[in-house]
Amino acid sequence: MTGKNSFPGTFLSLKLTVTDCFNSSLNAKYSFPENVYFAIGNIYYKMEDYHSAIKNYSSALEIANDKNKPTRKQIFFCRSEANFMLGTISFFNKDFKMALHYFNESTEDNNENYDAHFEIAKTYCNLEQWQEAVKKFDFILEHAPSDFNLDFVRRNRNFAYSMIK
């Protein structure tokens, strides 16, 4: 037997380990709890426990958005990545309007997150907003570094352009 349910005890012990690490991290002198919540969200995401992933990504955003905390570069990164992951889950759940919201939030904190820009364009395609998709693909082609998969972006852009009536 293979898959997620092959060794049920493994996931239980992983959750216990996650809880132990979480509690230790929050008690550390120089703790950045938003990063802890984000990391735990990633673990739950990989375990396909999207409900728990959303809960932890949302907690990361809540802490990172606290106006009483001093702003650090890590907070912008954490917010950008947490919004990206929430957008990814929303996209998988076919909640494209919510996905668009989260991906846009992600690019507001990190405009160089070209993966988020690409996901925005993909989401526009799913919403059949072809002109918006083309604009976003064009933005990526103009600004993304050459090591970004620009040929793939170009093919998607051409498809979206062909759908404009």
Render pLDDT for 79-103 as a digit per residue (tens, 0 to 9).
888 999 999 999 999 999 999 999 9
Burial 83-92 (b: 16+ CB within 10 A, else e): bbbbbbbbbe
Any idea where the domains of the chain sit in the sequence? 1-81
pLDDT digits (tens, 9 = 90+) for 18-69: 555 555 555 554 457 777 888 888 888 888 999 999 998 888 888 877 756 6
Whole-number Å distance between alpha carbons of 87 and 99: 4
Type of residue found at 29: K
Q: HSE (CB half, 13 Å, CA atoms) of 70?
A: 2
